[in-house]
């Protein structure tokens, strides 16, 4: 399985996927016109990784804004993680947001509402936000 290292652009996030440790980091902004196209290789890589037994998956998000099609793609990703969690895999999600942005906090809270996997929301003081 190959690693992913996607550089950020104005409207798409930086993505770092390390299959040796099952660690995915998505950071920056997410409002591509076609989010499905952007997230497809990431979803495919994580789905392939999760086919192995006893896998640990760690997702970390630090995204300032997601357009609705990105929300859909991220929800698909979180659904994969939730499924793995329910099968007994060691899954954890960490969601970082700007402490001063109450909308960003709401977005995070909505994502974890219907999930049972460990989901931690961390507020970052303004200086530390990417």
Stretch that binds another protein, among 14-22, 47-55, 66-74, 84-92 (CB under 8 A): 66-74
Question: Are 91 and 57 contacting, i.e. CB atoms less than 8 angstroms apart?
Answer: yes
Residue 88 Rama label (left phi>0; alpha psi -120 to 50; beta): left
First to last CA, the chain: 28
* Binding flag, residue 75, another protein (CB under 8 A): yes
Stretch that binds another protein, among 15-23, 45-53, 65-73, 87-95 (CB under 8 A): 65-73
Radius of gyration of the chain (CA): 14
Residue 27 or 69 having the CB closest to another protein: 69
Which residues would be at the binding site for another protein (CB under 8 A)? 10-11, 31, 33, 36, 64-65, 67-69, 71-72, 75, 98, 100-104, 114
């Amino acid at each position: 399985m190959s690693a992913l290292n996607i550089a950020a652009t104005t409207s798409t996030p930086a993505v770092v996927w390390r299959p040796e440790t099952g660690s995915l980091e998505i950071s920056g902004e997410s409002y591509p016109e076609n989010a499905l196209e952007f997230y497809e290789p990431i979803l495919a890589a994580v789905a392939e990784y999760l086919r192995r037994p006893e896998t640990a998956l760690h997702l970390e998000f630090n995204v300032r804004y997601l357009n609705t099609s990105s929300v859909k793609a991220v929800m698909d990703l979180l659904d994969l993680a939730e499924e793995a969690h329910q099968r007994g895999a060691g899954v954890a999600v960490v969601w970082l947001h700007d402490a001063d942005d109450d909308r960003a906090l709401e977005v995070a809270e909505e994502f974890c509402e219907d999930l049972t996997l460990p989901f931690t929301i961390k507020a970052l003081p303004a200086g530390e936000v990417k």
